């Protein structure tokens, strides 16, 4: 996790970048941002009752037995870990919502199997379902990269692309922020 600036709408709140193979769970109202989602997926969890949220930038679908790599690298491990940490931070498990962003086919991935994008998305859906957490929104697939911005104070989950000036809102913030059109 890298803090890289303050939130322009509220300079007292942090914007935190979640890099590749990282995740962050907060209960302080920070905005979490994952840039450059191609084959990777951004995974968000949120409890709107307690304003606890998390975001991961996962690279591969499943952790293999004995792999000690960090929990943010793998979709299954990231979802499981964020849910556990969200509850530890004050979330109510039954109130948690899931969001999935990314899984695009942008490049010729010479070092990864071609299906990694689809596998990342399928694993996210499956892991959330296995853990009884509803996926409330997703923006996945296709041939465009994405950035996801998740305001954990309001719950707003916005997806931005280079070619569309309007974000896709997977979740409108509790402050009623609907200034960006849903796509």
More reliable by pLDDT, 1 or 87: 87
At residue 178, the pLDDT reads 46
Helical ranges in the chain per DSSP H: 75-88, 116-130
Q: CA nearest 154: which of 57, 71, 31?
A: 31
More reliable by pLDDT, 39 or 3: 39
At residue 105, the pLDDT reads 85
Provide CB contacts within 8 A for 36, sequence distance 6+. 20, 145, 147
State how far the Cα of 8 lies from the Cα of 43, in Å rounded to an integer: 24
Q: CA nearest 97: which of 128, 140, 59, 126?
A: 128
Domain locations in the chain? Answer: 2-171
- Read off the pLDDT of each residue in 124-129 and give the average, rounded to a whole number: 99
Local structure of 20: helix, strand or coil: coil
Cβ atoms of 180 and 158 closer than 8 Å: yes
pLDDT tens digits for range 88-122: 999 999 999 999 999 998 765 555 566 899 999 99
Architecture, CATH, for domain 2-171: 2-Layer Sandwich (3.30)
Residue reference for tokens 């402050």: 175
Within the chain, strands assigned E span 2-7, 10-17, 23-26, 31-37, 41-47, 52-58, 97-102, 134-140, 146-151, 157-161, 164-171
- Chain-wide mean pLDDT for the chain? 88
pLDDT greater than 70 at residue 125: yes
- Give the confidence band of 10 by pLDDT, cuts at 50, 70, 90: low
- Read off the pLDDT of each residue in 80-89 and give the average, rounded to a whole number: 98
- Read off the pLDDT of each residue in 10-26 and give the average, rounded to a whole number: 88
Beta strand pairing call for 97-102 and 31-37: unpaired
pLDDT tens digits for range 50-66: 999 999 999 999 988 77
Count Cβ atoms below 10 Å from residue 147 Cβ, excluding itself. 18
């Amino acid at each position: 996790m890298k803090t890289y600036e303050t939130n322009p709408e509220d300079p007292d709140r942090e914007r935190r970048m979640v890099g590749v193979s990282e995740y962050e769970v907060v209960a302080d109202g920070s905005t979490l941002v994952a840039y450059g989602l191609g084959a990777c997926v951004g995974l968000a969890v949120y409890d709107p009752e307690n304003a606890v949220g998390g975001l991961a930038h996962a690279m591969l679908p499943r952790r293999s037995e004995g792999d000690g790599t960090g929990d943010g690298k793998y979709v299954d491990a990231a979802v499981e870990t964020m849910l556990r940490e969200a509850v530890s931070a004050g979330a109510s498990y039954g109130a948690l919502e899931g969001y999935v962003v990314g899984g695009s086919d942008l490049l010729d991935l010479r070092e990864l199997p071609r299906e990694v994008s689809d596998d990342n998305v399928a694993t996210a859906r499956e892991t959330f379902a296995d853990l009884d957490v509803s996926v409330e929104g997703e923006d996945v697939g296709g041939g465009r990269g994405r950035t996801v911005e998740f305001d954990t104070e309001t719950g707003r989950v916005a997806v931005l692309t280079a070619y569309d000036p309007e974000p896709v809102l997977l979740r409108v913030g509790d402050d009623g922020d609907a200034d960006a059109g849903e796509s």
